[in-house]
Amino acid sequence: MTEMKNEIYAFVASSILGEDVGKKFSDEIGKRLEERGHGNIFLGSINNLEELKKLPQSDLVIIFVATGGTEDIITEAGNRSKSLHLFYHDSYNSLPATLESAAFLKQQGKSVHLHKYIGPDTFVETVERLSKAAKGASRLRNCRLGVVGGVSSWLVYSKASPEDVKRKVGAELVSIPLQELLIRFDAKKQNLSKKNLPIEPREVHVSDQEINKALAVHEALEEIAEKWGLCGLTVKCFDLIMARKTTACLSMSLMNTKVFPAACEGDIPLLISMALGEFATGKPAFMGNPSRVSGNELLIAHCTAPLISSFKLTTHFESGLGVGISVDYPVGEKATIFRLDSKLELLRIGVGEIKKWEWRTDLCRTQVLIEMGNAEKILRQSIGNHYALILGDVSDEIVAAGEIIGLNIDFI
């Protein structure tokens, strides 16, 4: 049996009578996992409870249920993990064992997810995605998150104490005075030169001077992140606007483009949401306001977004100052919407499709219309303003990471 990492492991479950069936599937799956560099998390075929009881607790377990008569193995694995994923197939009473075990574990309050086995390739792809999610959850639990300037006064719900963040998520909140950002910005502002953006915009509606100021903010925030050893940050950005007549929008955009979680307005629950999503998927997150909810349509808008597509530089919406970013999100693509509540106990998540939208001047600059079932739940059961968005259906990864941290899942 190969050496196992504690975050995640996978194995094939079979009865003693079905040992040959289990070995057949184990050889098939194990070979493919080894080829893809994941042999260290695969335990092979397990057909007795005593073998399983020797294993330590794990964040996430993936089981291919090869035969019936494996309920005791499955339930024991479920009790030893925070998130359990079961693959079933159409033969050897695999599905009956899966259904019986899943019902029992869910009755005990355990997180169980069922997957139809198509073949070793899809199994390995799921292992890869969930392995990334488990590592993302581990990273968040050991993360330092910066709060630059504090929390905006209008976020009466969306805030969390350092003690709650540490106790419930594991991350450390670091409070950083806005003055540190202003001092670093001022030093750079006096030595500005023509700077080029790392990605070329399709349109520019602001001056080079404003772009340079926005990039100076970005360099200052990068220095702060390095100094404090941060893996994510949020900025009380409107205080920066008032103090220096410039914005942090471009910096937030550039950081999230590199999958470094960066949130606006000092919103701590949303910063944690973005960190959870970005670490679990390796994809950049967009933080936005739900600006319109109608039937099954949700419009999310904000003046910053990761540079995942063509974009234009314009001004910040509310102030008319600095640099705001309008990114063209691809119509027809799926998108995952999510956020944590202020108690850091609930993860709300849903998947929709991006629809065509005529850009409006009376909203924040990046505007994304999503069609999703039950979108009005956001109105009926509010858990705060801002939501995070990641392109694609990455709900499995984010849910898995959330379960590992101990979050309850609320599907939109």
pLDDT digits (tens, 9 = 90+) for 75-87: 999 999 999 999 9
Predicted confidence at residue 192, as pLDDT, reads 65
pLDDT, tens digit, for every residue of 33-46? 999 999 999 999 99
> Cα–Cα distance between 336 and 300 in angstroms, integer?
12
DSSP annotation of 40: G
Question: How far out from the chain centre does Cα 132 lie?
Answer: 11
Above 90 in pLDDT, residue 55?
A: no
Above 60 in pLDDT, residue 219?
A: yes
Above 70 in pLDDT, residue 112?
A: yes
Above 80 in pLDDT, residue 194?
A: no
> Cα–Cα distance between 75 and 77 in angstroms, integer?
5
> Cα–Cα distance between 139 and 121 in angstroms, integer?
27
- Contact between 223 and 184 (Cβ < 8 Å): yes
232 DSSP β-pair partners = 145
Predicted confidence at residue 166, as pLDDT, reads 98
Q: Which long-range contacts (CB under 8 A, 24 or more apart) does 122-129 make?
A: 123/29, 123/32, 123/64, 123/87, 124/29, 124/32, 124/33, 124/36, 124/38, 126/62, 126/85, 126/87, 126/396, 127/8, 127/10, 127/33, 127/38, 127/41, 127/62, 128/36, 128/38, 129/396, 129/397
Q: Which two tokens stand for residue 386?
A: 């801002």
> Cα–Cα distance between 119 and 25 in angstroms, integer?
10
> Cα–Cα distance between 60 and 109 in angstroms, integer?
15
384: number of Cβ within 10 Å: 21
The domains located in the chain, with CATH, are: 8-140 (3.40.50.10940), 142-411 (3.20.14)
This prediction has a pTM of 0.94
> Cα–Cα distance between 222 and 227 in angstroms, integer?
9
Strands (E), 225-285: 232-235, 262-264
**165: helix, strand or coil:** helix
- pLDDT tier for residue 95 given thresholds of 50, 70 and 90: very high
> Cα–Cα distance between 207 and 394 in angstroms, integer?
37
